[in-house]
A = this chain, B = another copy of it.
Amino acid sequence: MTIPKNHKPALGVCYYPEHWPEAMWGDDATRMVAMGLSWVRIGEFAWSRIEPQPSEFRWDWLDRAIQTLGDAGLKIIMSTPTATPPRWMVDRYPDMVAWDRHGRPRGFGSRRHYDFSHAEYREECVRITTILGERYGRNPHVHAWQLDNEYGCHDTTLSYSPVARAAFQDWLRDKYKSVAALNDRWGNVFWSMDYQRFDQIELPNLTVTEPNPAHAMDFRRFASSQVVAFNAAQEAALRPLTDAPLLHNYMGRVTDFDHFAVGANLDIATWDSYPLGFLEDRSDRDVDFKRDHRRCGDPDFQAFHHDLYRAVGKGRWWVMEQQPGPVNWAPHNPEPAPGMVRLWALEAIAHGAEVVCFFRWRQAPFAQEQNHAGLLRPDGKLSEGGDEVAALANELAGLPNLSIKAARTAIVFDYASQWAWEVQPQDAQFDYFRLVYDLYCGLRRAGHSVDILPPTTTDFGDRDRIFIPGLFAWPQALRAAVYGFSGEVVMGPRTGSRTDDFKFPMTLPPGLAGLKVTAVETLRADAHVTLQDGGMIQIWRERIESTWDVVEADLDGRSVRLSNGHLIYWAGWPDAAALDRWLGGTASDARHRETVSGATSIDYMTASFSVSP
């Protein structure tokens, strides 16, 4: 699998033949093609209709659906249906469901009702994947495969079930070999937390006060590894049965598992982009921002994920589900401003998306998502979003092939750091994603395109500048890359502040010669540290002992920015004003607003990943 040198962006749609009378399929397919769509995703929730009873299969309808769609000229993304195990599966394995952190089983009746650690369910997934691969792996209409759907959505990565506990104990046995080693590396002496046997180790929920952070961190690593293994099992089953690329559709701001590790086994990364829903249900933006952007979304939120998943996909990425109108699941569900459905798709394409699929074809008249808009209304007429997609398809037809260039600036994003600082925030406001995202937005305001890099990066190439904020623990190779790089490397705050075992480094953080973080304080939201030249330090502030040059000090005379050759260290979390001063940004989002009202301009993306003909 190689990164394509150039590609022609295409559009697609998510479709559920099992939801509609067969008589409608042909017309639907014809209309899709007429609208300019070339891809169609099917099958990801259809297990109960493919295998209504154990080992009793219904292939007829699916065979005909594939035939109908394919014959119309559509390329099919076939999916494994493992995100929605049928009811009979839960009867067979009552312990297959995940448990929440309060110790309650999360039952059947919606979706994602499985524990990633459940070995028999994983085997069932391999079985259905194999059967599907054998049937459709070489089908000429099937041009890609999606494995499962939205891993981790609805907080499903972490399970506190007995099944997860047993698997966690195995994972620990494998990692530490002896319980004495575990006691030592976790520092269990601290509160007499020493174990005598691995089978004594509980999951880190429902303890009296907080558990050992080393314990909690290993649980987070374990949980991520279970997602990776679950996905890898399907990949291994399917790979020999097809030549089509394998992919998964990730979500926005789901950080409970290491997407780079899952992506390592797949060919393309895709994600499900819901700009308005995400603004309402998972954005840290303030209330004014949310009000002003309620119909266009936070442009940087999409941009960040586009750049992130381009990295997860090793250069190849799609949008698998693009919001086409109001959704049903956010606290408030407004309509997009006119033109936004088109603009979101163009933003993705500008960041290098090969395909943008819309979710979904026709609004469903039943079940959980009946208020989720589609390209068609329930009565079959085009929705407002459908109108825009039809026009967009036309517009894209005239575009030349596009290729992807590396950005001059990159940020290292590390899922383990997210877990570490959730385990040990030290301030109720501290969040790794937010720290990285603040920086990302600052770089965008300053007009930079940004690449995201995994913490396994060993070489930064010929870029100008690398940022490594808030890194939990240094991978040896990454630190080598920092020292070997010719461009600028900006680190801190909190970078390299722990060892892999969740201990303080013996020589104090951040593990860079000539610089020590001797103490840390965290700051109330109403008590920032003002900087002489503008802006403030918020949330996190370090005390430095150093031989480096002081680039900037605060009014207390304490170092805020330091440099040593190509290395730069930030000893606190800058607010937007400080960040703009440091990065040369404008601290204004006038550009974004202008576009939203205009809605035909693509100024929206001028600071986005560059599009070249």
- Asked whether A334 lies within 8 Å of B206 as measured between CB atoms, the reply is no
Q: Mark A106-120, 1 if CB is under 8 A from B, else 0.
A: 111111110000000
Question: Quick check: A84 and B191 within 8 Å, CB to CB?
Answer: yes
User: With a CB–CB cut-off of 8 A, which chain B residues contact A520?
Assistant: 326, 371
Chain B residues within an 8 Å CB radius of A85: 192
Known interface pairs A104-B102, A106-B206; A377-B519 also in contact (CB < 8 Å): yes
Q: Which of A341-389 contact B (CB under 8 A)?
A: 363-371, 373, 377-379, 381, 383-384
Nearest-neighbor residue (CB-CB) of A19 within chain B? B189
CB pair B104–A208 under 8 Å, yes or no, is no
Cα(A111)–Cα(B192), bound, Å: 8
CA distance A215 to B108 in the complex (A): 12
Chain B residues, Cβ within 8 Å of A175: none
Q: When the two chains form their complex, are residues B215 and A49 in contact, meaning their CB atoms are under 8 A apart?
A: no
Q: Is the CB of B191 within 8 A of A45?
A: yes
List residues of chain B with CB within 8 A of the CB of A506.
365, 378-379
Q: Which residues of B contact A429 (CB under 8 A)?
A: 332
Which of B189, B208, B427, B504 is in CB contact (< 8 Å) with A154? B208
A209 touches B112 (CB 8 A): yes
Residues of B within 8 A of A200 (CB): 87, 91, 108
Q: Does A47 contact B (CB under 8 A)?
A: yes
- Min CB–CB distance A245 → chain B (angstroms): 25
Contacting pair A194 B52 (CB below 8 A): yes
For the complex, is A158 an interface residue (Cβ under 8 Å from B)? no
**Interface positions of A from 148 to 199, Cβ below 8 Å from B:** 153-154, 156, 186-196
Instruction: Please report the C-alpha to C-alpha distance between residue A501 and residue B367 in the assembled complex, in whole angstroms.
Output: 10
Q: For residue A100, which residue of chain B has the nearest CB?
A: B206
- Complex CA distance for A52 and B180, rounded to whole angstroms: 12
Chain A residue total in the interface (Cβ 8 A): 108
* Residue on B nearest A108 in the bound complex, by CB: B202
Check if A339 is an interface residue, CB within 8 A of chain B: no
CA distance in complex: A516, B194 (Å): 60
Inter-chain contact B290/A110, CB cutoff 8 Å: no
A502 at the interface (CB under 8 A from B): yes
Asked if B192 and A45 make an inter-chain contact with CB atoms under 8 angstroms apart, the answer reads yes
- Complex: A248 Cα to B209 Cα, angstroms: 20
Do B522 and A332 touch (CB < 8 A)?
yes
Render A197-236 as a binary contact track against B, CB cut-off 8 A, 1 for contact.
0001010101111111111000000000000000000000
Q: Could you tell me the distance in whole angstroms from the C-beta of A429 to the nearest C-beta in chain B?
A: 8
Q: Which of A464-472, A523-531, A598-606 forms contacts with chain B? A: A523-531
Question: Given A291-B526, A332-B427, A334-B523, does the pair A207, B19 have CB atoms closer than 8 Å?
Answer: no
A18-61 Cβ-contact flags toward B at 8 Å (1 or 0): 11000000000000000000000000011111001100000000
Tell which of A46, A371, A508 has the most Cβ of chain B within 10 Å.
Answer: A371
A368-B206 CB under 8 A given contacts A325-B519, A333-B427: no
| CB–CB A524/B334 < 8 A | yes
Q: Which of A368, A426, A507 has the most CB of B within 10 A?
A: A368
Asked if A335 is at the interface (CB within 8 A of a chain B CB), the reply is yes
Whether B373 lies near A519 (C-beta < 8 A) is: yes
A190 with B367: CB separation less than 8 A:
yes
**Cβ A186 vs Cβ B366 within 8 A:** yes
Residues of B contacting A156 in the complex (Cβ-Cβ under 8 angstroms): 208
Taking a contact as CB atoms under 8 Å apart, the answer to whether A196 and B524 are in contact is: no
14 pairs from A and B in contact (CB 8 Å cutoff): A106-B208, A109-B207, A109-B212, A110-B207, A111-B208, A112-B209, A186-B366, A191-B367, A191-B368, A325-B519, A334-B522, A365-B503, A370-B424, A378-B506
Chain A residues engaging chain B, CB cutoff 8 angstroms: 18-19, 45-49, 52-53, 81, 84-88, 91, 98, 102-113, 153-154, 156, 186-196, 200, 202, 204, 206-215, 280, 287, 290-291, 294, 325-326, 328, 331-335, 363-371, 373, 377-379, 381, 383-384, 424, 426-429, 501-504, 506-508, 516, 518-524, 526-527, 543
Top 10 A-B pairs, shortest CB-CB distance: A187-B366, A190-B367, A365-B504, A48-B192, A84-B192, A109-B207, A331-B428, A187-B367, A48-B194, A335-B521
